[in-house]
Amino acid sequence: MEVEIPDKDGNVRKMLVYTDSELKDSEYLHPDLKNLLMLCQTAKNSDRPSLQYVLKICEDAVKTHTAENYNDIPDYDSSLETDRSIRAFIQNVVYNA
């Protein structure tokens, strides 16, 4: 399907992506993550981001996003995105496994 998403340089343009409408139309993903996932599925290899680009986008999101960034996602408890909640999750899943 053809979608309008930001390319690797941040320019919004139409691209053909190998995805389905569930991802494209999902209200349950942060828009930045949804765009990144679609960018990774572009039909043209030259439009797909490098692993270094994907890592940088993810690292930047971890450093800059707060629980408030997730307030607009319907039926989602954005308090799950606080540092305290994430630490508790990691403690329970990794260390208390």
| pLDDT tens digits, 7-44 | 889 899 999 999 988 998 888 888 899 999 999 999 99
How far CA 78 is from CA of 28, 35, 51, 61, 65, in Å, comes to 12, 20, 28, 15, 11
CA 89 to chain centroid: 20
Q: If DSSP codes are grouped into helix, strand and coil, which group holds residue 83?
A: helix
Place of tokens 């680009």: 53
Say if pTM beats, i.e. exceeds, 0.75: yes
Separation between Cα atoms, residue 67 and residue 11, nearest integer Å: 27
| Residue of 74, 16, 64, 69 lying closest to 44 (CA atoms) | 16
Q: How many domains would you assign to the chain?
A: 1
pLDDT digits (tens, 9 = 90+) for 42-86: 999 999 999 999 999 999 999 999 999 888 888 889 999 999 999
Domain that holds residue 83: 2-95
Angle subtended at Cα 41 by Cα 38 and Cα 45, rounded to the nearest 5 degrees: 130
